[in-house]
Chains A and B, each alone.
Chain A
Amino acid sequence: MADIFSATVIVATLSSGIRLAVPLLLASLGEAFGQRSGVLNLGVDGIMLLGAFGGYFTTLKTQSPWLGLAVGLGVGLVLGLLSSVISVSLLAEQGISGIGVYLFGLGMSDLLFQKLVGTPLPAASFQKSPIPLLSEIPVLGDLFFNHSIPIYLAFLAIPVSTVIINRTRFGMNIRAVGENPEAADSQGISVTRVRYAAVTIGGILAGAAGAVLAIGLGIFQQNLTNAQGFIAIALVYFGAWRPLGVMAGSLVYGMVSAVVLLLKTRGIIPLGASDLAAMIPAVITVLALVVAARRFRAPTALTKPFIRGG
């Protein structure tokens, strides 16, 4: 038991925390795009599940995790567009419609899995790609520079998104449409187009999140995400609608998950309590959310469909 505090174990745990944070990070980053434009997409978890199945099944059949990831992105794109149609064009109540997308994803991914795969078979996973030189640094090298490429890309998406949201015209349009769609419309910005784009980006990232999760594990099962998509939505609030904040929240979740996993495999948490323990990351993350989120204000037009002249 004392070896839990040895350097190797700590580094391995932190490193797996980073890995576990990635699906959540991608999903909540995508959700942040949608919410900044004024659209709350509650269907993230459903999109993740279908992305996960698409990614897993493709990898299983082709042995190519990269093709699997591409299919996950594609599934996310389609479902992101579907969510846009529902929320933006059909002006659906966003607090309800996303639940439909979620239930669709939950049921459909399981149905496809039962019909097409049946018994869980392990699929290929991403290779680790240590970054030359940097991965040689003691401790830090193993922690940060010894992961698979999708994990590097996910973390790279954070600064990229920050720049897009704050420094580009597209990003400004997203913020304008989320704060005051009437003003944006009167300036000739198409509220519909901007929201479609933002929600679809959210869908793509949710699909990617699911694919990375499933391919990372090399397996699929019913409700694989375990409601991570909903945690992702909470993290957007926790992260105050900012990519960096979203990353911080994901890392909290990932780290707590890794520690719980370690305690479970060491038998410190008894097997009978493992379902209870599975809740801990979510509980801690939500608590962090409650403490941290008070200072920030949501986009003014969040959840409000836009009707011209209305």
Chain B
Amino acid sequence: MTQLLEMRGIVKRFPGVLANDRVNFDLRAGEVHTLLGENGAGKSTLMKILYGLYQPDEGELLIEGAPSRITSPTDAINHGIGMVHQHFMLVPSLTVTENVAMGTVSKRGRMNLRHVSDRIEELSESHGLAVDPDAYIWQLSVGERQRVEIIKALYRDVKLLVLDEPTAVLTPGEVDHLFKILRQTAEDGRGLVFISHKLHEVLALSDRITVLRHGRVMGEVEAKDANREMLASMMVGRPVRLAPDKPPMETGRARLTIRDLNVMGDRGLPALQDLSLTVREGEILGIAGVSGNGQRELAETIAGLRKPESGTIEVDDADITGRQPSAVRAAGLAYVPEERQRDGAIGAFSVSENMILVNHRHPPMSRRGFLRNGEIRQRSQQLVDEFSVATPGLDVPASNLSGGNLQKLILARELSGSPSVLLASQPTRGVDIGAA
């Protein structure tokens, strides 16, 4: 097998962080080589160096054996490198064809889009990538947009394709389909770099796996010799139990009762229809489903952020239907929102300020309108310890915390009020295995 890529001793420093520490990585034609690691392990940084978005501070890069310098995406494209980014690089107001044609070379200014759309149809047929070339991106589902990203790469006939967390937004069915396409793409003689932190996906798709932690390579294994426990331990740096033992809990009386709830979504279409559910004491009720099927609207309605059309919501026999968030909280509901950076904490506020955000209006945190700093510090230090929030101090801005630690902070705050019901939206998204 030909060696497509070799990255040797790559070092990349950001202020205060060593994102890549002498990383070695290579890729052969026809294989899927996975970069596995937690958030912030340096996977995306390494690939952004490969794609010319960052310049390495040290190290060298060989493409098909020849030392190369890649200083811009244009360079990368000219070297036959394609990248499907974590956030789609598509222009919503342009069509599929226009997005694919964008930036490709042509002799004159006029575009021959007919030719491009013919080629897209060929590619979608030969690779099972069904997509309408004339559709606008904004009309497409997430899965279809993913396919457009892959078509973009195939259209340029890349030799080396990097996929940065491509499954984050897909349904299980879409993931299976994507993996089939990716296997086929590799078998055509291309090399694929797959970035992920989902162990079962990594094992299903890869030929080889390189594990990164804190910017360093922790090891490289053949996928056939690997298993989940081993990979998880390499990622986290200590043995990890993937399935905690949980004794069954006795369930008691109903704490949250929802009856016949009807809620409109943002576009004025029904998001929830006649939904009823009960959560009992000692019970965790999971809401599963592809995102966009009413989960967000349900959480917002319970939390008092969205008015239902009809139906009732009760916490401990108190009717909170359509009440303001403060009243809902007073009734005993705690809420960990989906967008923790945006809705769950105030990034510019310190850790201790965020800790008491809900309670600051009441004694003992404040008295006669004045915040009581001694009490606040004592209380937040206690919570930081109890929930093992890794923070350099109580006074650093919350925006400095990693996703997992910010989530612990929010959870600590929400649980500190001894709520009757805890409502948590996507609480483990973007949180490391260790923290989760």
Contact = CB atoms under 8 A, between A and B. Distances in A.
Nearest to A187: B103
Interface residues of B, number: 29
A186 B88 CA distance: 10
B44 to A, nearest CB: 10
A167 interface: yes
B91 A179 contact: yes
Interface stretch (B105-113, B185-193, B323-331, B358-366): B105-113
Contact of A180 (B54, B77, B92): B92
A294 interface: no
Contacts, number: 71
A175 interface: yes
A186 B83 contact: yes
B11 to A, nearest CB: 17
B89 A187 contact: yes
Interface string B73-112: 1100100000101011111111000110111101001110
Given A168-B110, A169-B110, A170-B109, A176 B73 contact: no
B51 A186 contact: yes
A180 B111 CA distance: 20
Given A183-B89, A186-B83, A188-B73, A172 B101 contact: yes
B399 to A, nearest CB: 16
Given A175-B93, A183-B89, A189-B102, A309 B53 contact: yes
Given A184-B102, A188-B103, A309-B53, A179 B93 contact: yes
A176 B109 contact: no
For chain A, what secondary structure do more than half of its interface residues adopt (helix, strand, loop), or is it mixed? Answer: helix
A140 to B, nearest CB: 34
B110 A186 contact: no
B48 interface: yes
Given A186-B83, A188-B103, A175 B110 contact: no
Given A175-B93, A184-B103, A309 B109 contact: no
A179 B102 CA distance: 13
Interface in A156-170: 167-170
A186 B90 CA distance: 10
Contact of B85 (A173, A184, A186, A190): A186
Which one of B54, B85, B90, B103 has the highest number of Cβ atoms from chain A below 10 Å of its Cβ? B103
Contacts of A189: 102-103
A183 B83 CA distance: 11
B111 A309 contact: no
A24 to B, nearest CB: 26
B106 A169 contact: yes
Contact of A176 (B54, B91, B106): B91
Interface in B101-154: 101-104, 106, 109-111, 152
A182 B74 CA distance: 13
Contacts of A173: 102-103
Nearest to A168: B109
A309 B83 contact: no
B110 A184 contact: no
Which one of B73, B102, B106, B152 has the highest number of Cβ atoms from chain A below 10 Å of its Cβ? B102
19 contacts: A169-B109, A169-B110, A172-B94, A172-B102, A173-B103, A179-B92, A179-B93, A180-B89, A180-B91, A183-B91, A185-B73, A186-B85, A187-B73, A187-B77, A187-B102, A187-B104, A187-B152, A188-B74, A309-B48
Given A179-B94, A187-B73, 19 more contacts: A167-B111, A168-B111, A169-B111, A175-B93, A175-B94, A176-B94, A176-B102, A179-B93, A180-B89, A180-B91, A183-B88, A183-B90, A184-B102, A186-B89, A187-B77, A188-B77, A300-B92, A308-B53, A309-B54
Interface of A: 167-170, 172-173, 175-176, 179-180, 182-190, 300, 308-309
